[in-house]
Structure 1
Amino acid sequence: MSKQDKFDTTGGAYRGDEALESLFRHADVRPRPPADLEHEVRGTLHGEWRAMTARIRRRRIAAWGLAASVVLAVALVLLPQRSAELPAQVLASVARIDGELLLRGIDDPRNATVQFTGKSLFAGQVLITDDHSRAGLTWHNGESIRLDQRTELALYSDGMLELRNGTVYVDSQGAVGKGFVIRTPAGDVRHIGTQYLADVNKGTLTVSVREGRVKVVDEVAAQGQQLTLDQRGQVGRNEIESYGPLWSWTELVAPQITLDGMTALAFVEWAARQTGREVSFADDQTRELAAGTILRGTVQLEPARALELILQTSDLEHVIVNGEIQVSTRPRS
C-alpha cells in the first residue's frame, strides 16, 4: 500500500479504518498462557530489566568517577601552585608624585605599563618616570628614595633594588634596620648612613655623596665626592658641592612634613638637610628663640620655599648664602 493509499487528503482519515474495525469485531479473545509459563516469562523479563538498569548505573558511576578524577587531577595541579604563592611583599609607600608614575612587572614579557594610582609598592614591580615626572618613596624601613625624570627602578626585595636607567636619591636618616643594595650595570651600590645620588646613563654609574659614605664594588666615596664607574671597571673621581643644581630636583619630591608641635629650630634643620646646607644663628638668643617657637600646619612645598613662608609667620628671618642658611631675629618695627 502506498502513502497515497493510506491517507485521504479530503477527509483526513485512513480508508483502511473500516476494514480494521470489521477485523477486530470478528476476532476472538486471545487465551492467557498457563500461569507457570507467565510467571517464568515475567521473571525472565524482570531479570533482563534489572541487568539492563544495572549496566546503565555502572556506566553513570563510571562517568561520574571519570569526571571526579579529572576534577581531582586539576585540583592536584592547581593547589600546590596556589599554596606556593606567597602574599605580595610591601616594600614602600609613595610619598609624592610630580606628574605620572608608571608601573610594570619585572618579568612581564610584554613590557606593558600602567599608571600608578595606589599607595603601596610591592616586590616584583618596576617604577618608571617619563620626561615630565618624578616620584618620592618612603621605604619600609623609613629611608627616603626619590626618582628623577627618565628613571627606571626595579623592586626585587626588601634588600635589593635595580637602577636600570636614570637617577635616584637616597636619604637614610631615621632608617630602622638593615638597608638595601642598589644593583646597576657597573656594580652594586651600598651606603652607610648617608644621602647620595646614583645615576645610570648608558651603563655608566655615577654616585654623588652629600653625606656619609657609599661603597661601589671595591671603591668608596665619602661626603663631597663623586665616583664614576663604567662597565669596563674604569673609575673616575670628582669633588662636588652638597647643594645646588645637581640636587635641586630632589626637593620637588621631598616627603611631606607635619609641623604641629615642631619647633622652628627643628624645622630649619629639616630644611637645611633637604637642601644640603648648614644652619647658623646670629647669636645664642636667636637660637633660643627658634627652639622655643612652636609651629603648626603641614608643609607640601619645596623645602626652600616652605622655609621662606613659614618663618614669615614667626619672629625669625633667614637668608641663604651659598651652602649656609643664616637665621636671625626679625627687627621690631
Structure 2
Amino acid sequence: MTTVRDEPESNDASIEALLREVGARDEPSASATSEVMSAVHAEWLTIVQQRRRQQRVVAWRLAAGVVLAVLVTTFAYRFMAPGPEQFASIASVDGRLLASTGDTAVEARDVGQLIRVGDTMQTDARSRAAVSFPDGLSLRLDHDTRLTVAATDRVTLASGAVYIDAPPGVGSANALTIDTTAGSVQHVGTQYEVRTHADAMVVSVREGRVLVSNASTSNTGEAGQVLRLTTSGNLTRTSLAASDPHWQWTLEAAPVFDIDNQSLAAFLQWIARETGRHVVYSTPQAEAAAEAVKLRGSIAGLDADVALTTVLATTQLRRYRTDATEIGIELTPIDSSAATRQTH
C-alpha cells in the first residue's frame, strides 16, 4: 500500500522563498514598448496590404475576363452574324446608279456589285440601269427612278419606272412583287413595266400576265394591255403592242448580250425577245443553219437593228420581209463558209 504524505505548509514556504530570490519582473522601457508596437503595427500593415493587393488582382482578373467575354461576343456577332440577304447583282449601268443602305451615305454602284435587301437604288434624268437575278430574271430602271428592296421578292417603287423580264422557266414561285402607293403588281412569267405617278400606277404588259391589286381588289392584266390604277381604286385599260416604240428604253437599259461563242439562233432569240418580235425561219434548213453558226466578237454599243444587220452580214443567212411583229430569216444562195464567223 502506497501512502502519500500531506505536506502543504512546507511546499508553500518553498515557493515563497523562490519568488523572493528571483525578485519582481522588470517592466520594459517606454522606448522599447514603442519600438515593439511600431514593429507589430508595420507587420500588420504589410499583411493587410498584401491581402488588398491579392483582392485587387482577383478583381482585375474577373473584370478582364468579363471584358474579354464581351469583346469576343461583340466581334463574333459582327463577323459571324448573317448580313442582309442578296437581292440581285448589277448587270449594266448607263450613266450612274446610286445606292444606299438604311441611313448610310449614298454611293455610286457599278457592274458586278451586289444589291441587298434594304438597299435603295436611284437613277437620275440621264441614267438607266439593270440588275440580274441568279434565275435569269432582269429588273431595269428607267430615268429618274427610285426604289427600295423590301425583301428578296419585293420592291417598293417610289418614283419612275421599272421593267421586269422574267424569261421562260422562271415560275410564279419566284415572282417579284412591285409595291407602289396605288397598289401592287406580281407577274406570272412575263415582261412588263410599272410606272408610278403621284395619283396612280400604270402597268404595261408586254408578255404573259400580271396581277394588279390594292387593299380592296385584284385584277389580271394580259399581254398587250395597259392597266392604270389610281390611288382611289379606279382601274382603266388600254392597248399597247409588244413592238411599240414605248418599249425602246427597256432595250437601251438591257445588259449587253455577249455573242462570243453563242449560236446565231440564240442571238436571234434574244433580239426578238428584247424588241417584242418573233423569229420566223423560211425553212427547216435555215433554222438548222442558224443553230450551227457560232459567233465571235461583240455588239456592244450597237443599236438592236444595226447589230442584227451586222451579225447577219457575217453569215449565210439574211432577213426577208415580214410584218413588224416578226424577224424573218432565210438562207442565201452563196457558197458555204466556215461555221465560225467574225462580226468585226
Give the TM-score range, shorter chain: 0.7 to 0.9
Match for residue 157 of structure 2 among 163, 181, 188: 163
Q: Is the CA contact 1:203–1:231 (under 8 Å) kept in the aligned structure 2? A: yes
- Tell me the equivalent position of 1:114: 107
Partner of 2:315, secondary structure, is coil
SS of residue in 2 equivalent to 1:279: strand
For 1:244, the aligned partner's letter is D
Selected match of 1:134 from 118, 128, 131: 128
The TM-score normalised by the length of structure 1 is 0.77
1:21-73 CA-to-partner distances (Å, cap 9, x unmatched) read: xxxxxxxxxxx999898566433422233224434554x34863785487379
Measured in 2, the distance between the counterparts of 1:85 and 1:202 equals 40
Q: 2:44 aligns with which of 42, 47, 60?
A: 47
Q: Report the equivalent of 1:318.
A: 319
Taking the aligned partners of 1:35 and 1:92, their CA distance within structure 2 comes to 91
Counterpart mapping for 1:235-314 below 5 A: 235-300=235-300, 301-314=302-315
Name the structure 1 match of 2:170: 175
Check if 1:215 corresponds to 2:211: yes
Deviation at 1:262, TM superposition (A): 3.0
**265-274 vs 232-241, greater mean Cα deviation:** 265-274
Considering only CA atoms, is the larger Rg found in Structure 1 or Structure 2? 2
Q: Which of 316, 322, 329 pairs up with 1:327? A: 329
In structure 1, the gaps of 5 or more residues are: 1-31
How far apart, in 2, do the equivalents of 1:192 and 1:142 lie?
14
Matches within 5 A, 1:33-44: 41-44=38-41
Q: CA deviation at 1:138?
A: 0.5
- 1:14 is matched with which residue? none
Task: Determine the structure 1 residue equivalent to 2:183.
Answer: 187
- What does the per-residue CA deviation read over 1:285-311, in whole Å, with 9 as the maximum and x for residues that have no partner? 433432332223444344333212111
Instruction: Give the SS at the match of 1:265.
Output: helix
| Aligned-partner SS, 2:265 | helix
Q: Is contact 1:91–1:140 with CA below 8 Å preserved after alignment?
A: no
The SS at the match of 2:255 is coil
Corresponding residue for residue 200 of structure 1? 196
Structure 2 CA distance for aligned equivalents of residues 269 and 219 of structure 1: 31
- What amino acid is the match of 1:184? T
Distance 1:291 1:157 in 2: 40
- 2:340 maps to which residue? none
- Counterparts of 1:140 and 1:162, CA distance in 2: 20
Q: Which residue of 2 aligns with 1:22?
A: none
Contact 1:275 1:304 in 2 (8 A): no
Q: Larger deviation: 260-269 or 88-97?
A: 260-269
Counterparts of 1:250 and 1:192 in 2: how far apart (Å)? 19
Please identify, of 305-314 and 36-45, the stretch whose mean Cα deviation from structure 2 is larger. 36-45
**Larger deviation, residues 175-184 vs 204-213:** 175-184
Aligned partner letter, 1:128? Q
CA displacement at 1:92 relative to structure 2: 0.6
Matched residue count: 298
What are the Cα deviations for residues 257-301 of structure 1, in whole angstroms up to 9, with x where unaligned?
A: 333443322321221011101222344443343233222344434
Note the C-alpha offset of 1:233: 0.3
CA distance in 1, matches of 2:133, 2:199: 25
Task: Provide the C-alpha distance between the structure 1 equivalents of 2:62 and 2:289, rounded to a whole number of angstroms.
Answer: 85
Task: Judge which range, 203-212 or 321-330, deviates more.
Answer: 321-330
**RMSD, aligned CA:** 3.3
What is the CA–CA distance in structure 2 between the aligned matches of 1:66 and 1:175, rounded to whole Å? 58
Shift of 1:162: 1.1
Query: One-letter code of the match for 1:293?
Result: V
Q: CA deviation at 1:206?
A: 0.6
TM-score, scaled relative to structure 2: 0.75
**One-letter code of the match for 2:329?**
V
Percent of aligned pairs with the same residue?
Answer: 33
Report 1:18-29 matches (<5 A).
none
**Other-structure match for 1:17:** none
Q: Who is 1:89 aligned against?
A: 85
CA pair 289-70 structure 1, distance change in 2 beyond 3 A:
closer
Q: 1:54 to 1:214 in 2, by over 3 A?
A: same
Aligned equivalents of 1:288, 1:70: Cα separation in 2: 74
